[in-house]
Chains A and B, each alone.
Chain A
Amino acid sequence: MMRMSNELFLKRAAEEDGCMISAIGLKPLYAKTAEPAQQAGEPVRFAFRTLISYRRRALRLTMEDVAQKAKVELDELLEIEENASYVPEPRTVQKLAGLLKLPIEELLVLSGNATAANAVLTEAAVRFAARSRAVEKLNREQNDALNEFVKVLVDQKASARKK
């Protein structure tokens, strides 16, 4: 890791000259509290976009690869991976499920297109969201979290079929 020299730091600090440096995120810190129903869905949608991102990386696919192979616009893929409030069209979810080998029904629930039949999926999604962070390459911890969550999705699908 390269560090700035002391001399350069002093030069840059002089350039800063006591100016404002404030920046504010996509979700403003002073944002009004969301409706209870929306709050409940937030970790689930966070889990959806993280799942897509992790799964893509685990399969060693770039965003461009996914866009091309699943025939999804790159802009929409960026939106899906970055914007937890974005609800993709069911058809897009279907394309992603096919390419990333994830069960479609569960993915529709996570993406906000359908309602969960029970709490197992949403609870697993909340756990996954809490353990998630983005990295260029998944490490063991992230891989474990991903595999555990995918297992819940597949188990859910299997138990739904039995019924």
Chain B
Amino acid sequence: MAAHLDWAPVRLEALTRLFETKESWPEHWHWDWSKKADLLDLLAYRCMGIECEGHLQGLMMTSTIAKNSRLRPRGKAILYIEYIESAPWNLKALVENPKYSGVGIALLEAAIEFSEEEGFGGRIGLHSLPQSEEFYRNYMTDMGPDPDHAEGLRYFEMSAEQARAFLEGRK
């Protein structure tokens, strides 16, 4: 995956720095996209990215079959975000002056749009890494740690009403 190659040098530089300062680094950096690329052969999976100045600024992989809603109305189809990430040079934790802000917002908006296109009413869900929980708590419902998740991550869901509120700026 191009993002892997493009983002790797910045990550490496940040890792070295974080190692020197004995800070912990993001646990998801050993994700191997090539191992999951075959999922994209299935129609249920889709990959979306934001490109600017010739570089990928953010990447998202979604599935239309992974989960159903936990919020009321329960059991409705939702768009599940398998993976979402912003390029390392856009993260305050890694660089002093992040290049672009709003990558997460733009990807969330795209996810809601895709969910609507699929007839899911804008409903989306994801399992957030601990460092990202605060961001998602602003717009989605925190359903708590999910025992079904291999890492026990917290599950967040956005209802159709929350999706409308997100787009209209009511929260």
A-side residues, CB < 8 A to B, are: 1-5, 8-31, 33, 46, 49-50, 53, 62-64, 74, 77-78, 81-83, 129-137
Question: Is B48's CB within 8 Å of the partner chain A?
Answer: no
Provide the residues of chain A in CB contact with B68, threshold 8 Å.
63, 78, 81-82
Q: Which chain B residues lie closer than 8 Å to A135 at the CB level?
A: 64, 77, 118-119
Q: Once bound together, how far apart are the Cα atoms of A82 and B146, in whole Å?
A: 14
Q: A19, A53, A133: which contacts B135 (Cβ < 8 A)?
A: A19
Contact with A along B109-145 (1 / 0, CB 8 A): 1000100111111000011110110111010000000
Give every chain A residue within 8 A of B65 (Cβ-Cβ).
49-50, 53, 132-134
The answer to whether B118 touches A136 (Cβ under 8 A) is: yes
Beta-carbon contact of B131 and A29 below 8 Å: no
| Contact of B84 with A29 in the complex, beta carbons under 8 Å | no
B109 engages A3 (CB within 8 Å): yes
Q: Let me know if A1 and B66 touch, CB within 8 A.
A: no
Q: What is the size, in residues, of chain B's interface with A at 8 Å between Cβ atoms?
A: 72
Q: Which residues of B contact A (CB under 8 A)?
A: 26, 28, 30-33, 35-36, 41-44, 58, 61, 63-68, 74-77, 80-86, 90-93, 98, 101-107, 109, 113, 116-121, 126-129, 131-132, 134-136, 138, 148-151, 153, 156, 164, 166-169
Interface SS of B by simple majority: mixed
Name the A residues within 8 Å of B41 (CB-CB): 130
Contact at B132–A23, with CB atoms within 8 Å? Answer: yes
B74 and A29 contact, CB distance less than 8 A: no
Closest to A83 in B: B148
5 tightest CB-CB pairs across the interface, nearest first?
Answer: A13-B102, A136-B119, A21-B104, A25-B82, A18-B92
A137 to B86, CA, bound (A): 33
B43 touching A133 by the CB < 8 A rule? yes
Instruction: Assess the B86–A20 pair: CB atoms within 8 A.
Output: yes
Say how far B90's CB is from chain A's closest CB, in angstroms: 6
CB–CB B75/A28 < 8 A: no
**Residues in B neighbouring A81, C-beta threshold 8 A:** 68
Is B119 in contact with A137, judged by CB distance below 8 angstroms? Answer: yes
| Minimum distance in angstroms from B139 CB to a CB of chain A | 9
Contact A64 B119 (CB under 8 A): no
* Of B30, B31, B43, B135, the contact of A21 (CB 8 Å cutoff): B135
